[in-house]
A and B are shown apart, each in its own frame.
Chain A
Amino acid sequence: MTKKLQASVLGLMVAANVDAARGRALKLVSSKPAKSGSRTTRPRSWKFVPAEDILFAEMDESVSVMAFTDDEIERIGIKLGLSSDELAALYKP
């Protein structure tokens, strides 16, 4: 059932805008009849990758967002007892 709905989600037509608060189950009608064999012709754009991979790439692309602010680095140093030389060695090479 899920796959059928996903394939035509933008074409879904609803009989009327019944208030969601009533919790009524509406009959969903697709404006486009499902094509037979559509499951095997999924467009390439429907492929997904883990969000972590995209977020990782975006972190490298975004030069405006530094890893952590100077305040954060200073806080790390204080909390973990790092000297200023050690802080510089790890965070400002």
Chain B
Amino acid sequence: MTAFIVLNNRSGQYGFAGTTIVDVNRWCTANFGKDALHFAQLLSARFDAAFIVSRVVAGDRLFVRVRIFKGPTPVATMAFRLAPRLHQAHLSWVVLAPTARGGLVSKPLLQNLLLIERDCGIVRFTLNAGLSHGGYVWAMHGFLPETDAKWLQLSARLRAKLAALAPPLPALQAQAISQVLSSPDRFALRAVAAAVTPVAATTLGKHLLLGERWDGELDFSDQSSALIYLRRIGLLP
């Protein structure tokens, strides 16, 4: 059911295994425009090696799990799926080595994924923003709740968190953030994340969004969202 691709960018050696590698290769040629080897090379560009596990589901979706190496050390593992017919990609999860700070792994990794998405005609990039930092981090990367209805669910939780704040915010800040949180527009999440009013040794945006969970999407056809993301992953200054 699964295809395996190994690639050593330093030596140029690569290998394929698994009975469904033919399907994966066919999917890559049809949807990515190049074969599975080129897919693996783009996904692991600027890294030393990659080990990719992948399979085609329902004929048109590609599930991918990739482990990325720098030297002999694995520095990241990421799982995502691509649905070019829907112009949609979903990032299931990404984990990094604790030593991978400084943007030397996260930025090229997300840039490579973006190039794959571009070549597959992806317009909508979704994920579940969660864990301890994801609720804030992905908002700062340009993601918004998938729908206004999902924003309303999130904003209700944020209002409760705001109400429990002690000491309460000064009047002007409280009025402003209340107005933001009462907006029915999912775009308001970005306004929350960006709020830098000091609260309990952090910012208001972090205080409200850290630890929250929401289903997010990045719409590449929305210029402001795309620009924020490109800036965050280091493709724009």
Contact = CB atoms under 8 A, between A and B. Distances in A.
Interface residues of B, number: 81
Given A89-B197, A90-B204, A54 B101 contact: yes
A61 B107 CA distance: 14
A52 B191 contact: no
Interface stretch (B82-90, B116-124, B136-144): B136-144
A68 B232 CA distance: 10
Interface in A28-73: 28, 43, 45-59, 61-62, 64-65, 67-68, 72-73
B173 interface: yes
B221 interface: no
B64 to A, nearest CB: 14
A25 B18 contact: yes
A65 B134 CA distance: 18
Given A25-B17, A51-B94, A20 B25 contact: yes
A93 B29 CA distance: 52
Nearest to B204: A90
Contacts of B77: 48
A59 B140 contact: yes
A13 B105 CA distance: 26
A56 B232 contact: no
B185 A80 contact: yes
Nearest to B39: A20
A48 B49 CA distance: 17
B106 A9 contact: no
B185 A48 contact: no
A10 B140 CA distance: 36
A85 B179 contact: no
Given A28-B15, A47-B97, A58-B101, A91 B8 contact: no
Contacts of A61: 101-102
Contact of B96 (A17, A23, A49, A82): A49
B136 A56 contact: yes
A23 to B, nearest CB: 4
A62 B53 contact: no
Given A45-B97, A49-B95, A93-B197, A58 B228 contact: no
B131 A28 contact: no
B94 A50 contact: yes
B4 interface: yes
B76 A51 contact: yes
A9 B6 contact: yes
Interface string B213-227: 000000000001000
B19 interface: yes
Given A25-B19, A45-B97, A51-B76, A67 B172 contact: no
A10 B17 CA distance: 16
Interchain residue pairs A-B with the least CB separation, the first 6: A20-B37, A86-B176, A48-B95, A51-B94, A23-B22, A56-B133
